[in-house]
Structure 1
Amino acid sequence: MEILTAIGRKAGSWAHERAVQGILDTPPIVAQDDGLILFSMIGTAVLLPYLVAAKSLHHHLPRGKIVLLDDGTLTADDRAVLDKHCDNPEIIVKADVETAPCPQDNCWERLLSILDRRSNHFVIQLDSDTVTTGPVPEIAAAIDANRSFTLAGGLDEAQHGFKSAREISQIFHANGPTTDHVQAHAEAAMKTLPDADIRRYIRGCAGFAGFAKSSDGRATVSRFSQQMDERLGNTWRQWGSEQVASNWVIANDPDPVQLPYDRYINHWDEPMPESPAFVHYIGTYRYRWGNYSRTTREAIAALKA
C-alpha cells in the first residue's frame, strides 16, 4: 500500500508540473493601489504554483497589489518572471526581517512582515499551494468591513469557531496536550494565561488569512509569543508556532470572520464539496485524486478566457 501511495503521489506531482506550465501564458496581474496587499512567502521551487495561486485569487477578487517575501532562493530569472506577471511587486528578503522577541524562521518572518504592513493596508496571506476556483464575495465583504478572516483548519475545527482561550484548552486538551505538536502544547497552555477568559482563539489555517487594517502592529503577537515562550520554551520555536500566533491575532481582532468551510476548504483525504470557491492543497494529500492538477488547469483556462 505504501508503494502504491508513493507511486500515486509521484504521478500526481508529475501531472501537476505539466498542468502548471500554462500559467506563463496567461495575462499578468494589474496591480491596484487600493489599500489591499496580497502577501506570500515564496521561493524558486514554488514559483509557478504561486502564480496560479495569486492570479486565480486576483481574477476573482480584482483588487490589491502583490508583496512577496523571498525565502532566500529566488533567482534573477524568477524575479524577472514575477516582475512581468505580478506588476513589479515589492519583494522583501527574509534575512532582512527582524523577529525578536518572537521566534526566527518557520514562517515567523512572514507573519511579522504582514503585521508591519497592516497599519495602512488590509493584508491577505496566501500560500502558494492554493487555487481560487470561484467567486469570493465573503472575502470582498470582509475587506469592505475591515474584518480579519481565516480559513478553518478542517470540518471539526469549523464547527467550534471562535472561543475563549480557556474554552479551547478544555475542548481539545482537557487532560493536557493530545500530541507532541507545538499547536497542542500551545492550546493546552492557553488556559494558564492571565486573560484566558477574555482572549479568544480559533483553530484556523495560516495558509489563507486576512488581517484587517490596525494600529496594533506587532504588539499582540509579541506579547502572546513571550507568554508561550515562558510556558513552552524551545517547543514554541518549532514549526507550527507561527500558525498558532496567526490564529491568535485574528481571533482577537474586532469581529473576525471564519470563512464558510463548504466553500473555503483544506484538501484533506476526504471528498471535495461540489462547488468550492477556494482550495488549500495540504502537503500530505496535495496530489490525491488529481484534484490539484484539475483545478489548476481550470484556473488557467479561466485566466485565458
Structure 2
Amino acid sequence: MATLSEHLHWHVAQAWHLRRARGILATPPIVPRDDGVILYSMIGTRVLLPYLVAVKSLHARLGRGRVVILDDGTLTAADRRTLDHHLGNPEIHGIASVDLGGCPPKSCWERLLLLLELRRDHYVIQLDSDTVTLGPVPEVADAIDAGRDFTLRGESDSEWMPLDAFLATRPDVDPCDPATHIQAAAEAILGRVDAGLPADRHYVRGCAGFAGFAPGGLGPDVARAFSAEAEALLGRDNWKRWGSEQVMSNVIIANEGPPVLLPYDRYLNYWNEPLPGDAAFVHFIGTYRFHRGAYVDATLRASRSLAA
C-alpha cells in the first residue's frame, strides 16, 4: 500500500503532467478516415488530455481510421465539444448502453463487449489513454493489411503458444484464494472453460492497453459465456476483480490464429527504466507512470511532433 508521501507525490506529478499535456489542444484536429479501421477507447473527463495525446499521436503515425469512444459516464458537455473539434465528431457510446449479460460491471468488461460488437465489420484497435506513440508503427499497419489480430506484449518474453505449453510455464496457484492475483487465477482455470472456444486452444500474455482485433472473429457471446463459466469456477467476488477482462482479451486474440506480437524493444510497457531511443509506442502503466519524468517527456515530444 502506498504511503501518504507516495500518494501526495502521485497527485502532484499527475497535476504537472496534465498541465504539460495541455499543449495537445494547440495541435491540428484529426482528419478521420472511414477506411474500416476504428481507434477505440473508454475514457472519462479525468483523462481527456492524456487521451487526446494517445489517440492523436497514434492516428498521426498510423494514418488510418476514425475514432469511437465509450464514455465511462463522466464526460461533460465541454469534454464532448473538445472531442468533436479534435477528433472529427467521433462516435460516442454511453457505458449504460452496453449489455453486460452477467459480466462484471465497472471493470472494463463494458469496453470489451462493445469492442466485440464494433469488430463485426471493422478492424478495431483498443487504445488506453496512458499511451504515447513516438515513432513509426509499420507492424500495426501490416497486421491490419493481413487481417490479423495484434497485441502489445504483457512482458518482454510473452509468446503465443498452445494452452498446455503455456500452463506448464506457470506456477501452481489456488485460483479460488482471494490473495491470488486475478490474472493468475483466471489463467489457472483456462483449461476448464469451454465457452465455445476452439478445441486447439492457445494463449498469449498480452496487454489490453494496445491491441488490434481483425473484422469478424469471436464475438460478445463468447465473452459472456467465458465470464459465466469463469465466475462459476472462481466465485463472483473473485471474478469481478479488475483485470479479468484483460485475460478475456488475451484469450480472444490467442484463438483467432497466430497474432502479431509487437516487438518489445519498440512497443513496450514503462517499468521505470530509460526508454530506447527508437521506441515507437509506450504504455505508461500506473505503477511507474510518473517516474523519471518519462511520461511528461513523451507527451511533450508527441505534442511537438503533431504541431510541426
Conserved 8 A contact 2:160-2:258: no
Residue 2 of structure 1: how far off its partner (Å):
5.4
Conserved 8 A contact 1:35-1:122: yes
3-state SS of 2:34 partner: coil
* CA offset digits 1:34-58 (Å, max 9, x no partner): 0000000000000011000000000
Conserved 8 A contact 1:168-1:187: no
Name 1:133's counterpart in structure 2.
134
Question: In the aligned structure 1, how far is the partner of 2:247 from the partner of 2:228?
Answer: 13
Conserved 8 A contact 1:23-1:52: yes
Name 2:225's counterpart in structure 1.
223
Q: Is 1:90 the equivalent of 2:91?
A: yes
* CA offset digits 1:59-103 (Å, max 9, x no partner): 101110000000000000000000000100110000111111432
1:267 to 266, 270, 293: 270
Conserved 8 A contact 1:26-1:303: yes
Question: In the aligned structure 2, how far is the partner of 1:10 from the partner of 1:44?
Answer: 16
Pairing of 1:139-150 with structure 2 (within 5 A) = 139-150=140-151
Conserved 8 A contact 2:217-2:256: no
Identical aligned residues as a percent: 51
Name 1:286's counterpart in structure 2.
289
Name 1:81's counterpart in structure 2.
82
Question: In the aligned structure 1, how far is the partner of 2:159 from the partner of 2:88?
Answer: 37
Question: In the aligned structure 2, how far is the partner of 1:40 from the partner of 1:28?
Answer: 18
Aligned-partner residue type, residue 189 of structure 1:
I
Conserved 8 A contact 2:267-2:281: yes
Q: Is 1:239 the equivalent of 2:237?
A: no
Residue 270 of structure 1: how far off its partner (Å):
2.8
Conserved 8 A contact 1:39-1:124: yes
Conserved 8 A contact 1:70-1:94: yes
Question: In the aligned structure 1, how far is the partner of 2:252 from the partner of 2:306?
Answer: 34
Q: Which moved more, 1:15-24 or 1:123-132?
A: 15-24
Aligned-partner residue type, residue 165 of structure 2:
E
Aligned-partner residue type, residue 129 of structure 1:
D
Pairing of 1:54-65 with structure 2 (within 5 A) = 54-65=55-66
Conserved 8 A contact 2:174-2:180: no
Question: In the aligned structure 1, how far is the partner of 2:206 from the partner of 2:38?
Answer: 20
Conserved 8 A contact 1:13-1:287: yes
1:163 to 161, 164, 171: 161
Aligned-partner residue type, residue 203 of structure 1:
R
Name 1:174's counterpart in structure 2.
172
Residue 4 of structure 1: how far off its partner (Å):
6.3
Conserved 8 A contact 1:164-1:197: no
* CA offset digits 1:106-148 (Å, max 9, x no partner): 0111000000011110000001110000000000000000100
Aligned-partner residue type, residue 254 of structure 1:
G
Residue 22 of structure 1: how far off its partner (Å):
0.6
3-state SS of 1:172 partner: coil
* CA offset digits 1:165-205 (Å, max 9, x no partner): 23332211335459522111111112334689721111111
2:279 to 276, 279, 288: 276
Q: Is 1:252 the equivalent of 2:250?
A: no
3-state SS of 1:223 partner: helix
Unaligned runs of 5+ in 2: none
| C-alpha RMSD of matched pairs (Å) | 2.0
TM-score normalized with structure 1 length: 0.93
> Structure 2 vs 1, CA of residues 165 and 231 (structure 1 numbering), >3 Å: closer, same or farther?
farther
Question: In the aligned structure 1, how far is the partner of 2:106 from the partner of 2:6?
Answer: 31
Question: In the aligned structure 1, how far is the partner of 2:165 from the partner of 2:117?
Answer: 30
Q: Is 1:297 the equivalent of 2:300?
A: yes
Paired residues in the alignment total: 302
